[in-house]
């Protein structure tokens, strides 16, 4: 299939990221109506509805959310390739990270690192499989655990506290924890125990067997953003959405799951200048959490 129009892809990505045609138009230096038209033409070209039009907001469709992840990654690769082409030789640093952490926390902050360290090219790998903490082609990794990976120094970043999140309109109807029994529960198969930990601490019984299932937390959180139900969140994954008001916490209870995220690396790389710069930056970014 021929590639879709680049202007349409840029309009779609900006509208999805900012949540409105107005903000996207301001970023792209065009009118909101131009952004809307470009997105509509892209949808017609693809034969897929990327957005669900709500009265006062834009919400990604399920297929649109999946497409956005790929488009964002493609734009990031194009940007990095262009920077490498124009900036000359750079030190490549390969960092492994889980797909949800990479998409919802690390990638949105990498622009700041590249601005501070233009000679260091961070390349993300999300192909984490099995119990191996580090792949041979990685320089470092951000892993979730208890901080004990024999043979690898571990630098604490932040905790993995759990709490429910949902869209503001849905939260308005959640007055007590028992109200959770009346709304769809969104659950990620790769983090199936998170809801159970929180409900046990909250003293509420939910039929999690009837929860709407997704492969990864990123998809469940996108569904929550779209108003489809209530998801259980690990704090760093939703810091930006909470700050912007796109998601809210209907209940104050936050439950630690006994683990945290750590930056790990091989002992012999401890004095590597590029790794040291990334370690300093990511530790500070984790301290800020936004």
153 and 116, same domain (yes or no)? yes
Please give the model's pTM, rounded to 2 decimal places: 0.64
CB under 8 Å to 132, separation ≥6 — which residues? none
Tell whether 215 and 239 lie within a shared domain. yes
- Indicate the number of domains in the chain: 3
Residue 221's nearest CA partner among 209, 230, 211, 213 is: 230
CATH of residue 52? 1.10.10.10
Tell me, yes or no, whether 82 lies in a domain.
no
State the DSSP H helix or E strand holding residue 124, giving kind and residue range, or none if neither: strand 120-125
Backbone dihedral region of 147: left (phi > 0), alpha (psi from -120 to 50 degrees) or beta? left
Tens of pLDDT along the chain (290 residues) come to: 678 889 989 999 999 888 888 888 898 999 999 999 999 999 999 999 999 877 777 889 989 898 988 888 888 888 877 766 765 555 789 999 888 888 889 998 999 999 999 889 899 888 655 557 888 888 999 998 888 899 999 999 998 899 999 999 999 999 999 999 999 999 998 888 899 999 999 999 999 888 999 988 989 999 999 999 999 999 888 988 999 999 999 999 999 888 889 999 998 888 889 999 999 999 999 987 54
Q: Are 263 and 170 in contact (CB under 8 A)?
A: no
């Amino acid at each position: 299939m021929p590639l879709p129009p680049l202007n349409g892809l840029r309009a779609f990505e900006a509208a999805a990221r900012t949540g409105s045609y107005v903000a996207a138009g301001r970023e792209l230096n065009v009118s909101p109506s131009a952004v809307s038209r470009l997105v509509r033409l892209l949808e017609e070209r693809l034969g897929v509805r990327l957005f669900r039009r709500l009265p006062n907001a834009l919400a990604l469709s399920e297929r649109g959310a999946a497409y956005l992840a790929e488009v964002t990654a493609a734009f990031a690769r194009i940007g990095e390739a262009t920077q490498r082409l124009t900036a000359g030789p750079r030190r490549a640093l390969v960092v492994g990270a889980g797909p949800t952490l990479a998409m919802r926390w690390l990638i949105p902050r990498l622009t700041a690192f590249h601005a501070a360290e233009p000679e260091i090219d961070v390349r993300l790998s999300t192909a984490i499989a099995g119990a191996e903490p580090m792949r041979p082609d990685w320089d470092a990794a951000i892993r979730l655990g208890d901080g004990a990976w024999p043979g690898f120094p571990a630098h604490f970043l932040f905790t993995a506290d759990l709490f429910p999140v949902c869209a503001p309109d849905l939260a308005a109807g959640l007055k007590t924890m028992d109200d959770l029994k009346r709304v769809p529960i969104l659950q990620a198969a790769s983090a199936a125990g998170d809801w159970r930990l929180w409900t046990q601490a909250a003293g509420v019984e939910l039929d999690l067997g009837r929860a709407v299932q997704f492969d990864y937390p990123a998809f469940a959180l996108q569904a929550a953003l779209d108003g489809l139900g209530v998801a259980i969140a690990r704090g760093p994954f939703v810091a930006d959405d909470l700050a912007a008001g796109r998601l809210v916490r209907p209940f104050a209870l936050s439950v630690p799951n006994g683990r945290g995220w750590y930056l790990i690396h091989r002992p012999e790389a401890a004095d590597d200048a590029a790794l040291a710069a990334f370690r300093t930056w990511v530790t500070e970014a984790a301290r800020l959490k936004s």
